[in-house]
């Protein structure tokens, strides 16, 4: 109905001839190739795996509201993706159609026609697990391969994202004696907070044992001729480029299960059972950046300080995700009782009269 009304408003009548409508896949491939956002590689992989597989053989005009709803329903029925992942796929398709409309390749974005109640919803905020045992952290550092273990150490103790640890340059660790680390890159690109790629810099706390723990590795990198702008953790497999997120997480999945617990995941291919795979019950993110924030808020650190340490734009952002920690501590004034115990200090006990019968 929306497309028909759009045609009428443009002065077109009758049934639209779609025989010469462009094919979906060439345009979608052009859209993916032109992505320059921070998660462009992930979006390309997601798009080819979940979007092209569904719409690749269709014409652009055939991807209407009904086709999109059938696609969303099929993803839900398969039970292999969370609602958050389905929503991410839907948003990627919407971004493509907005791109196509702006270039005169499409006249309408069918994703925007989906009723709000039918859209995949974001997950409800839950009290996610976090690593509160330093002994386990030390064991994980011992079991992870170098230099992934150093990246884990910095992510857990300084709250760095995976890409921020992977993207550190030698000169960024020149401030350890001041108790800080400079962070300028996420992998080889700008920080997540640097929306306009303006070269934004942030500072994070350096653990008190950082200089001693990383000292031998930094000395080794200097002996190899690493300069101020060379990577602290170059990946030999990629000829000195940054480690990729997928490799870091594969190292985590190999080392973590015996320390944080394990679970079996059924691997499938086109609906057929392939094998059972052992996965850790805690993700790399939960054991690193999430644990950093949770640990300090649970132990009474101020919201402002923790928010600044992880580089959030304001404490409001931190509070949005960690309000369950921020509000676990209340002042004695808010906890004043009715004087019903012998140890009550908030007020005087007043005897209550029995009601007359």
- In percent, the amount of the chain with pLDDT more than 90 equals 63
Q: What is the mean pLDDT of residues 82-91?
A: 92
When pLDDT is averaged across residues 239-258 and rounded to a whole number, the result is 95
132 has a pLDDT exceeding 70: yes
The three-state (H, E, C) secondary structure of the chain, written as one string: CHHHHHHHHCCCCCCCCCCCCCEHHHHHHHHHHCCCCCCHHHHHHHHHHHHHHHHCCCEHHHCCHHHHHHHHHHHHHHCCCCHHHHHHHHHHHHHHHHHHHHCCCCCCCHHHHCCHHHCCCCCCCCCCCCCCCHHHHHHHHHHCCCCHHHHHHHHHHHCCCHHHHHCCEHHHHCCHHHCEEEECCECCECCCCCCCCCCCCEEEECCCCHHHHHHHHHHHHHHCCCCCCCECCEEHHHCCEECCHHHHHHHHHHHCHHHHCEEEEEEEECCEEEEEEEEECCCHHHHCHHHHHHHHHHCCCCHHHHHHHHCCCCHHHHHHHHHHHHCCCCCCCCCCCCCCCCCCCCCCCCCCCCCCC
Residue 326 or 42, more confident = 42
- Which range is most confident: 194-198, 269-273, 274-278? 194-198
List, as own/partner pairs, every contact residues 220-225 make where C-beta atoms lie below 8 angstroms and the sequence separation is at least 24, other chains included. 221/170, 222/170
* pTM for this predicted structure: 0.71
Local confidence band at 10 (pLDDT 50, 70, 90 cut-offs): very low
- Give all domains of the chain, ordered by start, each with its CATH number: 2-118 (1.10.150.130)
Residue 356 has pLDDT above 90, yes or no: no
Strands 241-242 and 234-235: antiparallel
Residue 112, pLDDT > 90, answer: yes
Span of 83-92, 150-159, 224-233, 321-330 with lowest mean pLDDT: 321-330
Average pLDDT, the chain: 87
Q: How confident is the model at residue 338 (pLDDT cuts 50, 70, 90)?
A: confident
Q: What is the mean pLDDT of residues 82-93?
A: 93
pLDDT of residue 36: 84
Query: For 41-85, what is each residue's pLDDT tens digit?
Result: 889 999 999 999 999 999 999 999 999 999 999 999 988 888 889
């Amino acid at each position: 109905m929306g497309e028909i009304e759009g045609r009428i408003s443009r002065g077109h009548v009758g049934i639209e001839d779609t025989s010469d409508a462009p094919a979906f896949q060439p345009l979608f491939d052009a859209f993916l190739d032109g992505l320059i956002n921070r998660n462009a590689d992930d979006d390309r992989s997601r798009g080819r795996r979940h979007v092209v597989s569904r719409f690749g053989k269709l014409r652009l005009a055939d991807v209407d509201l009904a086709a999109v709803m059938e696609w969303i329903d099929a993803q839900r029925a398969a039970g292999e993706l969370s609602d958050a992942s389905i929503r991410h796929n839907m948003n990627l398709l919407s971004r493509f159609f907005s791109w196509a409309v702006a270039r005169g390749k499409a006249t309408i974005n069918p994703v925007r026609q989906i009723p709000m109640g039918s859209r995949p919803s974001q997950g409800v905020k839950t009290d996610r697990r976090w690593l509160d045992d330093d002994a386990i952290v030390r064991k994980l550092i011992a079991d992870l391969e170098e230099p992934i273990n150093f990246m884990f150490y910095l992510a857990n103790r300084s709250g760095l994202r995976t890409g921020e640890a992977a993207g550190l340059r030698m000169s960024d660790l020149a401030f350890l004696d001041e108790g800080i680390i400079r962070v300028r890159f996420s992998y080889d690109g700008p920080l997540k907070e640097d929306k306009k790629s303006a070269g934004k810099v942030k500072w994070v706390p350096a653990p008190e044992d950082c200089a001693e723990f990383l000292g031998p590795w930094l000395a080794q990198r200097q002996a190899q001729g690493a300069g101020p702008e060379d990577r602290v953790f170059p990946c030999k497999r990629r000829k000195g480029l940054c480690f990729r997120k997928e490799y870091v997480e594969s190292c985590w999945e190999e080392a973590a299960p015996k320390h944080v617990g394990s679970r079996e995941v059924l691997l499938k291919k086109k609906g057929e059972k392939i094998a059972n795979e052992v996965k850790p019950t805690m993700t790399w993110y939960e054991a690193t950046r999430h644990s950093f924030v949770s640990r300090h808020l649970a132990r009474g650190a101020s919201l402002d300080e923790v928010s600044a340490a992880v580089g959030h734009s304001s404490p409001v952002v931190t509070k949005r995700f960690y309000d369950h920690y921020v509000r676990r501590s209340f002042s004695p004034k808010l906890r004043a009782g009715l004087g019903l115990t012998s140890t009550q200090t908030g007020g005087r006990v007043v005897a209550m009269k029995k009601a007359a019968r």
